[in-house]
Structure 1
Amino acid sequence: MTSSPAATATTDVVELILRDHRRMEELFRAMRNVQADRAGALQEFSALLVAHATAEESEVYPALRRYKNVDDEDVEHSVHEHHEGNEALLALLEVEDTGSEEWDEKLEELVTAVNHHADEEERTLLNDARENVAAERRAELGAAFEQARAEQLAADCGSLENVRRLVKSSSD
């Protein structure tokens, strides 16, 4: 039995965020593989990470703050971890040789930062959202998340210049 695209399509913000997290894990595997197009995987990862985090911060986190059973400290912590992820991403983007030891070191720093954030977010914010936010509202947030994410991707948000700008603005 095959599933139709409609059967797998969702606008539930929790599911959309989880889908991005799983794609990031796939891209990490590609970036670790010496036979893969590491630079291409990094380019896709960079765009996805920045678009994902920006969409969460602009559309999802502000809405979650309004729910009394969603911990505001978890939201603030997630924003802080996005900045850490951007810093680790920038360090990897600045490595010129994808076959170097420096690449491997900076990649592992990025993997650690992003996986730590994704794990915490899944256990705290996303579980809170599942339990406390109505399905219709999660669908509305999902649509807003997808739109903001698409706008970021269309604007080349993962470029080295943009990641540098994001890191600089978060440290000011």
Structure 2
Amino acid sequence: MPSTDVVELILRDHRRMEELFRTLRNVEADRAAALTEFADLLIAHASAEEDEVYPALRRYKNVEGEDVDHSVHEHHEANEALLALLEVEDTASDEWDDKLEELVTAVNHHADEEERTLLNDARENVADDRRRELGQKFQEARSRYLETGCGSVENVRKLVAAADD
């Protein structure tokens, strides 16, 4: 049975994003399809973290609230980079490659930092059963977002605009 530990689920998404980056960099791949999957995954993942995981982690005294705030900020930066890539028409263009690398940099930086801070803190300070409970809530929220096509350029535009307000 697959794990519902929230830490494992978040890590699994991070690894899937890395795989999708490899596909997105491959000129022979279906980059448009990979970008659609990536956009949906990134938005659903980050939104589910912000809805279910981050508020719960804030309540633990050994989890830094500043790390949570910083992660939310980095989600916005990743959304801006995603929007810039979604708005490039030609997946074979230099502009597409440039915007892809900006997205890769933003997402990999965030995933690396989150794994070293928040996820390690969660492993050390949050009981196994609570991590499983959070994992279920994370999965449910993530699924709800995925069902809405949350990575569409229109939705990402809305998210970026809302964050800029």
The TM tier, using the shorter chain, reads over 0.9
Q: Give the RMSD, CA atoms, in angstroms.
A: 0.3
Give the equivalent residue in structure 1 for 2:52: 59
Amino acid at match of 1:58: D
Q: C-alpha separation between the residues in 2 aligned to 1:129 and 1:113? A: 22
| Local SS of the residue matching 2:131 | helix
| Local SS of the residue matching 2:61 | coil
Please report how far the alpha carbon of residue 10 of structure 1 lies from its aligned counterpart in structure 2 after TM superposition.
0.6
Give the equivalent residue in structure 1 for 2:103: 110
Percent identity reads 76
Give the equivalent residue in structure 2 for 1:168: 161
Q: C-alpha separation between the residues in 1 aligned to 2:48 and 2:58? A: 15
Matched, 1:153 2:150: no
Please report how far the alpha carbon of residue 108 of structure 1 lies from its aligned counterpart in structure 2 after TM superposition.
0.1
Structure 1 residues without counterparts, runs of 5 or longer: 1-5
Please report how far the alpha carbon of residue 71 of structure 1 lies from its aligned counterpart in structure 2 after TM superposition.
0.4
Amino acid at match of 2:158: R
Give the equivalent residue in structure 1 for 2:41: 48
Matched, 1:141 2:127: no
Matched, 1:79 2:72: yes
**Aligned residue-pair number:** 165
TM-score normalized by the length of structure 2: 1.00
Please report how far the alpha carbon of residue 75 of structure 1 lies from its aligned counterpart in structure 2 after TM superposition.
0.2
Amino acid at match of 1:167: V
Runs of 4+ residues over 3 Å off in structure 1 = none
Tell me the alpha carbon deviations over residues 13-49 of structure 1, each in whole angstroms, 9 at most, x when there is no partner. 0000000000000000000000000000000000000
Q: C-alpha separation between the residues in 1 aligned to 2:28 and 2:125? A: 44
Please report how far the alpha carbon of residue 63 of structure 1 lies from its aligned counterpart in structure 2 after TM superposition.
0.1
TM-score normalized by the length of structure 1: 0.96
